């Protein structure tokens, strides 16, 4: 700030000096014009009284002009210097004609004499005073700038010190610390709000981590307790039917293996950007292939399948997208009774590739729809309906779709089924080539945002839940 102040004063001084110099120069030229006009009138009078030019009268006029700080030269009618007058010094002089009886008899050329009063005033007073004022202004501006800089620095330093302390405490694990209210200007307040949002995100992540650990521990403990209890029964010889006990132990072990696999898949899905191998593909071809693999299981469950599949070109990882479809199909089959229906739609809607999986199952209550994509979360009553689930499948769907730049939407009515919609960006250059499928009755509903890119379209209320 001191440097800026001194630079500003210096530039102002230069501009002032140039402006004053120009003004003083113009004043000097005007003074010379007046001096030349006065000497011209005096020369005309001398010329009339003497009846012509004389060297003595010319020297007298030059002496009078010199006493006023000017130097004059007298030229004849032909433009040559007259006796008693030197030749003009250059072309910078101010010229004034000498007219007698309407006839030009000569010319007066006036120039500023070296060491004249005007020049001395310009050199010794004006510039000296200007330099003194510039120096005083520079010193005053530097002091004021220094004081202002100190005040601003102190005003910024204290809030920054407090924010630094908050950051250190967050680093040490005190994520409940608040940064807002540390003072400072608008920028500091904005930084404090950003730090508070960061702390809130860390708290959410910490809560989610603790909840995940608790859920995994609960699932593992439940399976292990059953295994340990049956092993003890076999060791004590109190088991009524060893074959039955071994069968149940096998079910518990398979449950542990499924849970371990679900946890591994969720861990991979949470860092999908490192695992995706994208290539051009048609979502419709992928849906047909996966439905063919699920056909036998659907027939075994007496679930009717309806396909409404049109081309939907995207760019993605076919294995990961197949995992998304398998999880959605598995979820639909698990909660659909025999005699129910599974409808799969694929196509383009509003410039996006859309895949919908609609079942006629038990549906999801509105108060539970916002949590269906949470890891290890299952709605009340879901465990009784399907005990082999772990609550990870839809969380994996959410993470993988998010990694492909898409989102998942849910529309559900208790007792009437659910519709999961996967929306992905169309492949570059494919939007203009693929028209929306006019015959596909896309569902609509009000979208309620969830965390990340997942959204839920709640279409009705009801007490039941998945």
Please check whether residue 86 is in contact with residue 73, taking contact to mean a CB–CB distance below 8 angstroms: yes
What is the average per-residue pLDDT within 202-213?
75
Range list of H helices, 377-464: 382-385, 393-403
Tokens 């009755």 belong to 441
56 or 125: which leads in pLDDT: 56
Per-range mean pLDDT, top range of 167-171, 244-248, 299-303: 299-303
The CATH architecture one would assign to domain 278-457 is 2-Layer Sandwich (3.30)
Whether 252 shows a pLDDT value over 80: the answer reads: no
* Region 366-374 average pLDDT: 78
What Å distances lie between residue 264 and 49, 216, 257, 392, CA to CA? 124, 12, 11, 10
Identify the bridge partners of residue 73 per DSSP, sorted by sequence position.
109
Q: Once rounded to an integer, what is the mean pLDDT over residues 369-376? A: 74
The pLDDT of 345-370, averaged and rounded, is 88
Q: What is the pLDDT of residue 345?
A: 94
Which residue in the block uniquely carries the two structure tokens 């009437």?
416
Listed residue (321, 320, 324, 294) closest to 307, CA to CA: 294
Which residue intervals of the chain bear CATH 3.30.565.10? 278-457
Mean pLDDT, residues 205-229: 75
- Residue 120: per-residue pLDDT: 53
* The 103-112 sheet, strands edge to edge: 70-76, 103-112, 94-100
d(CA 313, CA 354): 10
Mean pLDDT of the chain: 77
The pLDDT of residue 59 is above 60 = yes
Instruction: Please state, in angstroms and rounded to a whole number, the distance separating the CA atoms of residues 259 and 322.
Output: 20
In the predicted structure, residue 465 carries a pLDDT above the cut 50: no
User: Where does the pLDDT of residue 425 fall: very low under 50, low under 70, confident under 90, or very high at 90 and above?
Assistant: very high
Residue 411 pLDDT exceeds 60: yes
d(C-alpha 245, C-alpha 342), whole Å = 37
Residues of the chain with CATH 1.10.287.130: 186-267
As a whole-number percent, the residues of the chain with pLDDT over 70 amount to 79
Tokens 């916002």, located at residue: 370
Q: Which of 271, 281, 264, 374 is closest to 319 using CA atoms? A: 281
pLDDT value, residue 456? 36
Query: Could you tell me which of 242, 211, 201 has the C-alpha nearest to residue 377?
Result: 211
pLDDT above 50 (res 65): yes
Instruction: Tell me the C-alpha distance between 357 and 327, whole Å.
Output: 11
Residue 385 is predicted with a pLDDT of 56
- CA dist 230 and 115 (Å) reads 123
Are 465 and 414 in contact by the 8 Å Cβ rule? The answer is yes
CA 51 to chain centre: 92
Return the SS3 of 447: strand
Q: What's the mean pLDDT in 377-388? A: 57
Above 90 in pLDDT, residue 344? yes
Q: Does domain 186-267 have CATH number 1.10.287.130?
A: yes
Of 204-213, 257-266, 442-451, which range is least confident? 442-451
Going by DSSP bridges, is the β-strand pair 455-457/447-449 parallel, antiparallel, or unpaired? antiparallel
Listed residue (378, 118, 149) closest to 262, CA to CA? 378
**Residue 453's pLDDT is what?**
34
pLDDT at 366 over 50: yes
Answer whether 0.85 is exceeded by the pTM: no
pLDDT digits (tens, 9 = 90+) for 91-140: 677 888 988 888 888 888 888 766 554 555 555 666 677 777 777 887 88
> What is the mean predicted confidence (pLDDT) over 444-461?
34
């Amino acid at each position: 700030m001191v440097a800026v102040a001194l630079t500003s004063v210096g530039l102002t001084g230069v501009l002032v000096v140039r402006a004053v110099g120009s003004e003083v120069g113009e004043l000097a030229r005007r003074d010379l014009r007046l001096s030349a006009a006065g000497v011209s009138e005096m020369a005309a009078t001398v010329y009339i009284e003497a009846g012509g030019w004389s060297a003595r009268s010319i020297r007298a006029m030059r002496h009078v002009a010199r006493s006023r700080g000017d130097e004059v030269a007298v030229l004849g009618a032909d433009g040559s210097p007259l006796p008693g007058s030197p030749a003009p010094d250059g072309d910078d002089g101010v010229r004034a004609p000498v007219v007698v009886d309407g006839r030009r008899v000569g010319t007066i050329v006036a120039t500023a004499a070296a060491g004249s009063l005007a020049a001395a005033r310009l050199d010794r007073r004006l510039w000296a005073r200007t330099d003194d004022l510039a120096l005083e202004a520079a010193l005053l501006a530097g002091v004021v700038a220094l004081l202002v800089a100190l005040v601003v620095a102190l005003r910024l330093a204290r809030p920054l010190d407090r924010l630094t302390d908050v950051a250190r405490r967050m680093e040490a694990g005190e994520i409940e610390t608040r940064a807002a209210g540390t003072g400072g200007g608008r920028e500091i307040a904005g930084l404090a709000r950003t730090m508070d949002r960061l702390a809130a995100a860390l708290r959410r992540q910490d809560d989610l981590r603790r909840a995940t650990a608790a859920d995994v521990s609960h699932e593992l403990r439940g399976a292990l307790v059953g295994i340990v209890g049956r092993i003890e029964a076999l060791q004590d010889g109190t088991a009524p039917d060893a074959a039955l006990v071994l069968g149940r132990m096998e079910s518990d072990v398979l449950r542990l293996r499924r849970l371990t696999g679900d946890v591994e898949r969720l861990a991979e899905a949470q860092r999908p950007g490192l695992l995706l191998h994208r290539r051009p593909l048609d979502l419709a071809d992928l849906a047909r292939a996966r439905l063919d693999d699920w056909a036998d299981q659907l027939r075994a469950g007496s679930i009717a399948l309806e396909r409404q599949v049109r081309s939907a070109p995207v760019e993605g990882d076919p294995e990961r997208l197949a995992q998304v479809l398998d999880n959605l199909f598995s979820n639909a089959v698990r909660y659909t009774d025999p005699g129910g229906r599974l409808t799969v739609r694929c196509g383009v809607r509003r410039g996006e590739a859309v895949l919908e999986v609609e079942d006629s199952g038990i549906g999801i209550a509105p108060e539970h729809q916002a949590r269906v994509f949470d890891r290890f979360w299952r709605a009340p009553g879901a465990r009784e309906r399907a005990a082999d689930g772990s609550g990870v499948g839809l969380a994996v769907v959410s993470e993988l779709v998010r990694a492909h730049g898409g989102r998942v939407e849910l529309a559900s009515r208790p007792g009437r089924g659910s519709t999961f919609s996967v929306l992905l960006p169309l492949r570059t250059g494919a939007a203009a080539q693929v028209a929306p499928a006019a015959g596909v009755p896309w569902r609509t509903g009000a979208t309620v945002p969830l965390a990340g890119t997942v959204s839920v379209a709640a279409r009705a209320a009801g007490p039941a839940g998945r």
